[in-house]
Structures are given as C-alpha cells and as structure tokens.
Amino acid sequence: MLLFSNVDFAYDAHPIFFNLSFELGQGEFNFLIGKSGAGKSTLLQMVYMNILPQAGIVQFAEYNSKNIKPRDLPHLRRKLGIIFQDFKLFRDRNIYENLSFVLEVTNTPRREIKKKVNNALTDVDLFHRRYSMPDELSGGEKQRVAIARAIINDPLLILADEPTGNLDPETTNEILEILMKIYNRGTGILFATHNYEIVKRYNNYKIIKLEDGKAVKSVFK
Ligand SMILES: Nc1ncnc2c1ncn2[C@@H]1O[C@H](COP(=O)(O)OP(=O)(O)O)[C@@H](O)[C@H]1O
Ligand SMILES: [Mg+2]
C-alpha cells in the first residue's frame, strides 16, 4: 500500500534521506521513530506528496511520485487522514463545521455530510460537543476532533505526526486507545513520535526507525 524505494532527499545542501527504503502493508500499524530532526515530518510529507523524492520512488495506493500530476493530489489525499501535534482546527468554525468542511469541498450531499460527521464524532465520543468552538475544548478533545476529521473519508492510512506531543500522559493514552480502535477496524496507521515510552508500551507493533537518513525496520523488545 505504501512503498519507499531508494529515496534520496535533501533540503538544499542538507541531506535528510539517503537510499531510504521500506514498505507498509494495508491495514498495518507502524511507529515511525527517530530523534528530533531525523526526518519524520519530512517522510510523512512525502507520503502525501507535498515533497517529492530527488531520487527513488514513493508509491502510495495507485499513486507514484514519478508520474503524479497536480490534479491527482486531492484524490491521493482523500485516501489519507492526517493529524498533527497542533491539531490544525479552524478556530472560527464550530466542531461540526470543522468536519463538514472536508466533505463540502467534494460536493457531498447534505444528508450524507450530516450522517458522516455525526458518525465520526460519535467514534471519538464528542457528538455532544458538536456545536462547541475549538477553543472551548481541551487539548485531548481537540485532538479527538482532528481524528474524527481524519477518518471522515474512510482513509486507507492515517498519518499521525507526533499527535500526542502536546498532551499529558493520561490524555496520550486516551488518544492511543482511539487510534487503536480505528486500526482494529482495518485502517492503517503510521504514527510518528520521538516518545519512546509510547513505543515500548505498545511493543507488538512494527517500528520504522530513521537513523542516518535510512530506515531501520525493527521491533522494540
Ligand atoms: N522546509 C525546510 N527547509 C529546510 N530544512 C528543513 C525544512 N523542514 C525541515 N528541515 C530540516 O530537515 C530536518 C528534518 O526535519 P523534520 O522532517 O521536521 O524532522 P523530525 O520531524 O524528525 O523532527 C531538520 O534538520 C529540519 O531542520
Ligand atoms: Mg516532526
């Protein structure tokens, strides 16, 4: 479902990846680890093809970095759900509108939008907060809204870029549990973190470790 094959990438003269290769099967949960600056966020941006490799290939679903066209990007990105450390919610829209927006851009019928938004909010246990504004929610609740937004198009893969980086340990667990529930329904997850405590706790999942510009696939034991 996702393949990086001999990928090279540098920001100007600053090399990030050298011959980076790994593969991720459909419906897998993988951690992406590596110290700050190792290239985790860069790698995730290469999955949604915001950044293209300078050598090698990134393949996601039917999309390939060698021949991707700008007009394909919205289609590719609809197969992905993306969550960030800082949530990236629209502060001037309520929770319902933050989610419905994603479907309005694809001209989804109103009734279907309502059903999908309500289902996604129920999945993260926030249906009762649908008319709240983002600033009225806690950090954990905001991240749950971001998860609801990420799953609304029923993506193949969720990219999570340090989604618990701003959260306390208890809330971190809550977010992990929600993501595990989504994973158990069949959605793939690539979870970037530099928090090795989380990785040790969920120690039966695959790990892609970025080190010296390469990926080392391993299992923490
Ligand atoms: N847009 C950019 N331009 C130049 N350098 C960048 C850019 N984005 C990230 N970098 C650098 O690339 C390296 C990897 O960054 P990043 O992918 O954000 O790492 P991580 O997410 O693992 O902390 C860092 O040294 C960072 O400073
Ligand atoms: Mg990062």
CATH of the domain at 184: 3.40.50.300
Looking at ligand 1, which atom is closest to the CA of residue 12? 4
| Domain range for 192 | 1-60+175-221
Q: Determine, yes or no, domain membership for 202.
A: yes
Distance between CA 186 and CA 20 in Å, rounded?
Answer: 27
Q: Determine, yes or no, domain membership for 6.
A: yes
Identify the pLDDT of residue 219: 46
Distance between CA 175 and CA 191 in Å, rounded?
Answer: 12
Q: Which protein residue has the closest C-alpha to ligand 1 atom 2? A: 11
Task: Count CB neighbours of 105 within 10 A.
Answer: 9
Could you give the number of structural domains in the chain? Answer: 1
CB contact at 8 A, 32 and 163: no
pLDDT tens digits, 168-211: 999 999 999 999 999 999 999 999 999 999 999 998 899 999 98
Identify the pLDDT of residue 187: 98
Rounded to two decimals, what is the model's pTM?
0.95
Q: Determine, yes or no, domain membership for 219.
A: yes
The predicted model gives 52-76 an average pLDDT of 97
Q: Determine, yes or no, domain membership for 112.
A: no
Taking each helix axis from N to C end, the angle separating 95-104 and 110-123, rounded to the nearest 10 degrees, works out to 130
Q: Determine, yes or no, domain membership for 148.
A: no
Residues with CB under 6 A from ligand 1: 11, 14, 16, 34, 36-42
Identify the pLDDT of residue 218: 54
The predicted model gives 95-110 an average pLDDT of 94
Q: Determine, yes or no, domain membership for 42.
A: yes
Identify the pLDDT of residue 217: 61
- 208 Cα: distance to centroid of ligand 2 (angstroms): 15
- Residue 29 is inside which H or E element, if any? strand 29-33
Q: Determine, yes or no, domain membership for 114.
A: no
The predicted model gives 35-48 an average pLDDT of 96
Q: Determine, yes or no, domain membership for 159.
A: no
Looking at ligand 1, which atom is closest to the CA of residue 44? 17
What are 132-140's contacts with CB under 8 Å, separation 24+?
A: 132/94, 132/95, 133/91, 133/93, 133/94, 133/95, 134/87, 134/89, 134/90, 134/91, 134/93, 134/95, 134/98, 135/91, 137/95, 138/171, 139/87, 139/166, 139/167, 139/171, 140/167, 140/171, 140/174, 140/175
